[in-house]
Copies of this chain bind each other. A is one copy, B any other.
Amino acid sequence: MGFIVEGDESGDVVLEPPPNFSMVEEGIFRSSFPRPCNFAFLKTLNLRSIIYLCPEPYPEENLEFLRSHNIRLFQFGIEGKTEPSLASLKDAIRGALKILIDVRNHPVLIHCKRGKVIVQIQLLNVSFACGTELIKHRTGCLVGCLRKLQNWCLSSVFEEYQHFAGMKSRSADLRFIETFDI
C-alpha cells in the first residue's frame, strides 16, 4: 500500500482516481471510465490488465497509456453483426469472469462507461435487444457474478450493485445476476 507517493519534477502529485473507483478484492479494482487526469492515479495501482466491457473503441490516449505501462486490454464489447442473444451476453460475462479471477492478470481494473456517456451507450445497446431487456451496468453485473462465485448472499450482492449503480440501477441487471449460472 503506497501511502508515500513519489513526486515528479514538479513536486507532489495530487492523485485523482476515476469516479466510482473502488477495490473489489485484492488485485481487482472497478471504476468509471478513466480519463487522462486519472492516469497518475492508475499508475500507482501497477495494473497488469484492464477489462473493458463496452463495444466502443478504446480512446487512443488511453491505449497510449496502456502501451507505455505494459497493461493488457481485454475488451468484452459483445458486439455482433446480428443481434446477440442473452446466451452470448452470458458467454461474454463468463469470459470476462475467467480473465478476472486469473491472478496472472492481476492487478486488474474493470470498467465500462458512466455519467453522460451512458446515454449514448444505452442507445447503442438497442442493437443488443434480445426480446427482453439487456444488462446496462456491465461492471456491476460482472462484479455481481464474481460475488456469487464467492458465495455472497444475493441481498448483499444486490446491495453492492445498487451502491455503485445508483440511479443507473436496473432490475434487468439484478435478474441477470440472479440467473447467471456460475
Does B15 contact A153, Cβ atoms closer than 8 Å? yes
Q: B residues within 8 A CB of A2?
A: 150
Does A5 contact B150, Cβ atoms closer than 8 Å? yes
Q: Smallest CB–CB gap between A64 and chain B, Å?
A: 23
A151 and B5 contact, Cβ closer than 8 Å, known pairs A17-B156, A21-B156, A163-B163:
yes
A16 at the interface (CB under 8 A from B): yes
Q: In whole angstroms, how far apart are the Cα atoms of A21 and B163 in the complex?
A: 10
Does B101 contact A17, Cβ atoms closer than 8 Å? no
Does B21 contact A23, Cβ atoms closer than 8 Å? no
Q: In whole angstroms, how far apart are the Cα atoms of A23 and B23 in the complex?
A: 5
Q: B residues within 8 A CB of A27?
A: 1
Q: Which residue of B lies closest to A40 (CB)?
A: B151
Does B153 contact A14, Cβ atoms closer than 8 Å? yes
Does A16 contact B163, Cβ atoms closer than 8 Å? no
**128-177 of chain A: CB within 8 A of chain B:** 149-153, 155-156, 159-160, 163
**15-55 of chain A: CB within 8 A of chain B:** 15-17, 19-28, 41
12 chain-A/chain-B pairs, Cβ below 8 angstroms: A1-B26, A1-B27, A3-B101, A14-B153, A15-B150, A15-B152, A15-B153, A15-B156, A21-B160, A22-B22, A23-B25, A26-B26
